[in-house]
Structure 1
């Protein structure tokens, strides 16, 4: 019996390599936070309530993107369109809530001047927000394609890639949120 080896799609492989690089970047940044927190003049901050809400929104968006992928694979295009649209809106809501949270921290006197946890928060969570914005761009592209014309080819790879990436930025935010909650 001649079994073919199951190969990973090249785009999936590339995504996993990129995700590994992102993990390394955030591991380095959170490690630097731990090392620097004992420095003189270190300031701490409180997690704004908006970050709690944004966490809930991000978790919900992971559910909707997974449901969208399932709907696409089942060729339920109207359901897919609705869910991919909802996921995009939830992504935008996440960024909006993050903005409100950052404004709250800034208004409490924690700015980019000096040395402290707030500065690390701006850099680390800001980089995460950039990755979420990249995901939102990909969601918008999927949204446009979903509504642009009749789907002739049901290739789920782009949606699978988006779903994997979106779950990744979700898990990354959960890690960062717990990190900043637990490390002062």
Structure 2
């Protein structure tokens, strides 16, 4: 009877994992919707200064899109129980994710060197928004990289297979979410000046 109860609890936990992830992603989406709405409203201020996005943000965008593709390939190959290619694509996803973070900070450096600061007398409203919103996204990317590390560890310990890939699926959903979120933010900043 105790084993049956444990099995039922485990099954209930598995069933609630995806809906809980979706609820948390919806709340994150609402946060960024609020931030970008504040950006739009602030554009009407007299002290709004428009400028181009740093080149490094273009590079980081390409890297995060590529990382989503490699994560999709990892999921595809674990469904075929091809552990070697799954490992290759999970490592690729991690490297591309770290590359994304590197180029985000390179973009901050470009802004700083252009005289655009996050705060202080020399900051602008737009630069403060770009730094702030991008940093908020980087916090979610950091969470995504932690998730990637956990997925990679679980893969190495043979937790995933074609019959058991829930953790990998959850990690992929979250990673694709932060990817899509960045693409939205990048396009938003690019077109809404």
The reply to whether TM is greater than 0.5 is yes
Paired positions, count:
177
Aligned to 1:99: 105
Q: Which moved more, 1:41-50 or 1:89-98?
A: 41-50
Q: Check conservation: 1:54, 1:93, Cα contact below 8 A.
A: yes
Q: Deviations over 1:125-170 (max 9, x none)?
A: 11111101110011111122222x3448642111111111111111
Aligned to 2:179: 170
Distance in 1 of aligned mates of 2:61 and 2:124: 26
C-alpha RMSD of the superposition: 1.7
Aligned to 1:179: 188
Helix, strand or coil: the match of 1:26?
A: helix
Alignment of 1:132-151 (within 5 A): 132-147=141-156, 149-151=157-159
Structure 1 position 106, deviation (Å): 1.2
Unaligned runs of 5+ in 2: 1-11
Which aligned runs of 4 or more in structure 1 are off by greater than 6 angstroms?
none
Aligned to 1:3: none
Unaligned runs of 5+ in 1: 1-6
Q: Check conservation: 2:117, 2:124, Cα contact below 8 A.
A: no
Distance in 2 of aligned mates of 1:105 and 1:13: 39
Q: 1:16 aligns with which of 14, 22, 29?
A: 22
